[in-house]
Amino acid sequence: MQLCVAHLRIFIAVIALAISQYAFAKNSIDGVRVWPSPENTRVVFDLKSTPEFTYFSLTNPQRLVIDFKDTQNVASLRNLLAKDKRIKNIRLSSPKEKNSTRLVLDLTEAYQLNVFALAPAGQYGDRLVVDLYDKDRVAQKDTPTINNKRDIVIAVVAGHGGEDPGSIGPRGTYEKHVTLKIAKKLTALINKQPGLKAVMVRTGDYYVNHNRKTVIARKHKADLLVSIHADAFTSPQPSGASVLVQSSRRAHSEFTRWIANRQEESELLGGAGETIKMTEDHNLALTLADMKKEYTMESSYTFAEHVLRELKKVTKLHKKRPEGLSLAVLKSSDIPSVLIETGFISNPGEEKRLNSSAHQQKLARAIFNSIDSYFSSNAPSGTYYASQGYRQHKISRGESLSVVAHRYNVSVGKIKSLNNLSSDVVHIGQTLKIPRAD
């Protein structure tokens, strides 16, 4: 009996010691989330308040050690890494200071590190973020060719991802899930079309930094960047799709920065980059770069008009013309870029439609049609599209010869001449040859 009482006292003392260790801790780690991606893994620690932390790396074996000052850990560290290839284990270790927590990430190899705190935003409170980047990231690849004619490359960006859910609908729909589904459907349509090639910037549920999106697009030599989103508002009434392009103010500020640093940034300015980099004539550099910027902005706006023309066939439009905004994903001066708001996820009716696979397919088809029609009239030299003397178009219900001519930016007379038509009358199901635009 005395032995049992002694054991009980020891047990109580141990518990009391464990409790006292954190009794006066000001902060707490309440959750841990791991987001693997092809290029990196992001670990997010959810905290009660702003973290005070230090970190350092150890080798043989490779580890990352993080000390959270005045912090207790109440989060489970089990079953976090089932899908991750970069982290072997996340575990507790003996802290250097009282009332603190030391966490160790056992890594499979050395990675480029980025560790930073995030302030509360949306549904999340204070966070500490750890990004582990592969040292060998996406390598630049040669564009596939057909008969020595290259494909036109489309970078497809599914908005948000990982711990960034985007907007959340009244039924709990996450924007990040909707955008990824539409992006995958669009990618499938693009890759079925001879002469086009899609590159998905995000292929799963993880976050890609805005700057990294354009870097990935550039390394794949993208001719166009399409970013897919779903809009939201504080009330449920607004609805409809819209298309955004870079505002002239943001484009000018980015352009000015690139010119000032043209030795380092010349690859962002396209084909004239080497000339811009090497010339000692600042006015010549300015002129060449300005021409490239204006071409990119004009191309973005023209393509945005194609998208709106196709979207209005399958959904309501919120904005009938392209809208210019200052958005990071659109800032590239060398890649025509648009952001497509496919609808308002905050509107209950549109949330339901955006969750529908059939509606997602319609949206993807509309975006694909806009890509096809735009490059049919604006094919870059050396591409398979540019090598084709004409393309084919099947007449749908409600289409006239003038509508088809406007879509492909060619004259009615040229279509009639190529197809030996004696009148403007066309029939549903009729297949026409469409000449390339001048």
| pLDDT tens-digit series, residues 71-85 | 999 999 998 987 899
Same domain, 123 and 154: no
Domain that holds residue 179: 145-384
Same domain, 267 and 294: yes
From residue 261, alpha-carbon distances to 42, 215, 267, 325 in Å are: 31, 17, 11, 24
Same domain, 408 and 369: no
* Pair of tokens at residue 254: 């980015």
Share of the chain above pLDDT 70, in %: 79
Same domain, 393 and 380: no
Q: Find the CATH number of the domain harbouring 416.
A: 3.10.350.10
Cβ density class 196-235: b for 16+ within 10 Å, e for less:
bbbbbbbbebbbbeeebbbbbbbebbbbbbbbbbbbbeee
Q: Is residue 11 part of a domain?
A: no
Number of domains in the chain: 3
Final residue before a domain boundary, out of 133, 158, 178: 133
Cα atoms in the 13 Å half-sphere on the side-chain side of 46? 14
**What's the pLDDT at 215?**
87
Same domain, 93 and 238: no
Residue 271: pLDDT over 80? no
Rounded to the nearest 5°, which phi and psi values hold at 241? Answer: -90, 160
Q: Is residue 207 part of a domain?
A: yes
- The pLDDT confidence band at residue 23, using thresholds 50, 70 and 90, is low
Final residue before a domain boundary, out of 108, 133, 158: 133
Q: Is residue 188 part of a domain?
A: yes
- Encode pLDDT of 97-107 as tens digits: 888 999 999 99
Residue whose entry in the numeric block shows the structure tokens 């032995």: 3
Final residue before a domain boundary, out of 349, 366, 384: 384
Contacts of 423 (CB under 8 A, 6+ apart): none
Q: Is residue 217 part of a domain?
A: yes
- Encode pLDDT of 348-391 as tens digits: 999 999 999 999 999 999 999 999 989 987 888 889 888 877 77
**What's the pLDDT at 57?**
96
- The pLDDT confidence band at residue 138, using thresholds 50, 70 and 90, is low
Q: Is residue 14 part of a domain?
A: no
Same domain, 61 and 205: no
Residue 279: pLDDT over 90? no
Judge contact between 164 and 213, C-beta under 8 A. no
The lowest-confidence range among 98-112, 116-130, 325-339, 372-386 is 325-339
- The pLDDT confidence band at residue 260, using thresholds 50, 70 and 90, is very low
Contacts of 276 (CB under 8 A, 6+ apart): 262, 266, 269, 285, 288, 289
Same domain, 117 and 173: no
Q: Is residue 346 part of a domain?
A: yes
Same domain, 235 and 128: no
- The pLDDT confidence band at residue 268, using thresholds 50, 70 and 90, is very low
Same domain, 268 and 359: yes
Same domain, 258 and 336: yes
Contacts of 111 (CB under 8 A, 6+ apart): 40, 86, 132, 133, 134, 135
Residue length, the chain? 438
Q: Find the CATH number of the domain harbouring 190.
A: 3.40.630.40
CA distance 89 to 85: 11
From residue 256, alpha-carbon distances to 249, 259, 285, 340 in Å are: 11, 5, 11, 26
Taken in order 235, 237, 241, 246, the sign of the CA dihedral is: negative
Q: Is residue 259 part of a domain?
A: yes
CA distance 34 to 43: 5
Same domain, 326 and 300: yes
- What's this model's pTM, rounded to 2 decimal places? 0.71
**Mean of pLDDT over the chain:** 83
**What's the pLDDT at 113?**
93
**What's the pLDDT at 379?**
87
**What's the pLDDT at 2?**
52
Same domain, 380 and 393: no
- The pLDDT confidence band at residue 274, using thresholds 50, 70 and 90, is very low
Q: Is residue 12 part of a domain?
A: no
Residue whose entry in the numeric block shows the structure tokens 């659109």: 330
